[in-house]
Amino acid sequence: MSYERQAGILLHPTSLSGPDGIGDVGPAAYQWVDSIKKAGFSLWQVLPLGPTGYGDSPYQCFSAFAGNPYLVSPALLLEDGLLHTSDLSERPALPLNYVDYGAAIHWKNYLLHLAYSRFCRIHPPLMVDEFNEYQLAEKDWLEDFSVFMAIKEEMDGKAWNEWPKELRKRKTTALKSFTESHAEAIEYHQFRQFLFSRQWNQLHTYVSNSGIKIIGDIPLFVAYDSADVWANPDLFFLDKEGDPEFVAGVPPDYFSATGQLWGNPLYKWEYHRQTDYTWWIARIKSTLSLFDLIRLDHFRGFAGYWEIPAGMPTAEKGRWVPGPGADFLSRVQQVLGRLPIIAEDLGEITSDVIELRDKFNLPGMKIFQFSFASDPTDPFLPHNYPVNCVAYTGTHDNDTTIGWYHTAPESERDFCRRYLACDSSGIPWEMIRAVWQSVARIAVAPLQDFLSLDTSARMNFPGKLGGNWTWRTTGSGLSDELITRIREFNWLYNRLPELQGKTKKR
């Protein structure tokens, strides 16, 4: 982890502007990178890039290795000759300021089918070679994933535990028969992954050449309805029918009287240990091919996690179980070397979590919005930050700063105004200033806070079903005025890349 002072901005690609109903990795993404470079950012933080399922959450994906095909850019497919301008003439009137997932997915699937059909007809030699190389390089997960998605499609989207027993249990004869009779559907899903990988890698190279690193995300748990669980049942606590024996969540706390019941299957960590954490190391290596730094979501689960018997209506009944801890991180370090990892150490944090984080010198997270319910000793206040941390005004799981301020108790608002020495009109930028001028090596804020947007721009409301992950910006990058204002902050508080290494020693 670099110890230079850095500034980052949080924006998921689905929130980028564009005409196709959902942000993608095409022209708007390149304009975004150009603008954040001008503003003096050296970090761009995104959420997981996996193929989203029910609820459209990037934290509940059909695979821990695959990419989201709905991020594929039609504009770049035009450049490749896989789409023609006439193909876009049927584009529906899709909203520009939010994602209507149903309409956007329908449109993107139509275009992806067209692109695959044209690829099969024209067989562009260079792209055919690239596709063949991709299939070979990624076969360890790609084959299972593409078969999983083809079966799911055939079963009208049903979860894999509702499939016929022979397919659910991956019986050799049934799988062979299905793959032979659905070869084109399977290849189509591999082709979608190829397009995503190709376009993302091109963007990632452009980002790197711009002097910017991408912070990505690894959720601790995977979705039950995923190729990972279907293809690797030995890695999880499942019964003989393939249903979860235990599921993930967090116990009751100040924020929820019944806790949070996430429902993800739990890992058989002893089995992972016996296999040298092969699956996890492959997952981290795959993620590091997408990003430069990784935020380990729910880091406390590596020290200890809340085990809930399957079938419980809430997370109240459960127990704490030790996680893989230092044994796991030591093995990852042994194989991969330096750990470019940020520990998401929020929630109920105990001493063992702190010890594990500090043993590997991993920066934790500080959320400024969390700091005003206490007193000046609160660890989320900027004057209490350690150097080795990543400090945020708020994250994708928080309200925007203005939204938080308008709904916070008056006692917290009063503390906030006194701390920042400002009135309510200046809260978002004064909170950014306080985080930026702190000793935290990395300071990050969501685009919504730089734009001083209210709750309507919130990205996610944990525990709320539906309506999340939909916010989009309508601008193509940052405005010139915003670039100037942000760059001034990055200069004032020594977070410009060109200032690093110039600190004078006394």
DSSP letters along 321-347, please?
EE--HHHHHHHHHHHH-S--EEE---S
> Residue 316 domain-assigned?
yes
The pTM for the full model equals 0.96
Cβ 215 vs Cβ 295: under 8 Å: yes
Looking up tokens 């760059």 gives: 487
Q: Please, which residues bridge with residue 321 across strands?
A: 305
Reduced DSSP (H G I as helix, E B as strand, rest coil) percent helix, strand, coil of the chain, to 5: 45, 10, 40
> Residue 404 domain-assigned?
no
Dihedral angle, C-alpha 170, 176, 178, 184, nearest 10 °: 130
Dihedral angle, C-alpha 295, 262, 240, 176, nearest 10 °: -60
What string of pLDDT tens digits covers the 506 residues of the chain? 556 999 999 999 999 999 999 999 999 999 999 999 999 999 999 999 999 988 999 999 999 999 999 999 999 999 999 999 999 999 999 999 999 999 999 999 999 999 999 999 999 999 999 999 999 999 999 999 999 999 999 999 999 999 999 999 999 999 999 999 999 999 999 999 999 999 999 999 999 999 999 999 999 999 999 999 999 999 999 999 999 999 999 998 766 789 989 999 999 999 999 999 999 999 999 999 999 999 999 999 999 999 999 999 999 999 999 999 999 999 999 999 989 999 999 988 899 999 999 999 999 999 999 999 999 999 999 999 999 999 999 999 999 999 999 999 999 999 999 999 999 989 999 999 999 999 999 999 999 999 999 999 999 998 787 889 999 999 888 999 999 999 999 999 999 999 987 765 55
Query: Helices in 4-124 by DSSP H: which ranges?
Result: 27-38, 74-79, 101-122
Residue ranges making up the domain that contains 335 = 232-289+298-339+356-361
Cβ 446 vs Cβ 393: under 8 Å: yes
CA distance 381 to 420: 11
CA distance 44 to 67: 18
Active site residues: 297, 344, 397
> Residue 373 domain-assigned?
no
> Residue 484 domain-assigned?
no
Neighbouring residues of 52: CB distance < 8 A, sequence distance ≥ 6: 58, 60, 61, 62, 68, 70, 469
Q: Based on the structure, what is the number of domains in the chain? A: 1
What pLDDT score does 501 carry?
A: 76
CA distance 405 to 43: 26
Burial of 246 (0-12, 13-18, 19+ CB in 10 A): buried
52: DSSP letter: B
User: Could you tell me how far CA 178 lies from the centroid of its own chain?
Assistant: 32
Cβ 61 vs Cβ 53: under 8 Å: yes
- Other C-beta atoms lying within 10 Å of the C-beta of residue 439: 14
What pLDDT score does 347 carry?
A: 84
CA distance 408 to 462: 17
> Residue 89 domain-assigned?
no
Q: Identify each DSSP E strand in 381-498 by its residue range.
A: 389-392, 442-446
> For 209-258, what is each residue's pLDDT tens digit?
999 999 999 999 999 999 999 999 999 999 999 999 999 999 987 667 89
> Residue 105 domain-assigned?
no
**Number of H helices and number of E strands within the chain?**
19, 12
Q: Which of 135, 100, 99 is nearest to 15 (CA)?
A: 99
> Residue 44 domain-assigned?
no
Structural tokens at position 395:
């994250």
Query: Helices in 341-479 by DSSP H: which ranges?
Result: 351-359, 401-407, 410-420, 427-437, 447-450
> Residue 180 domain-assigned?
no
Rg for the chain, CA atoms, rounded: 23
What pLDDT score does 255 carry?
A: 64
What pLDDT score does 348 carry?
A: 80
Structural tokens at position 230:
């279907």
CA distance 452 to 426: 9
Q: Identify each DSSP E strand in 113-166 by its residue range.
A: none
- Other C-beta atoms lying within 10 Å of the C-beta of residue 254: 7
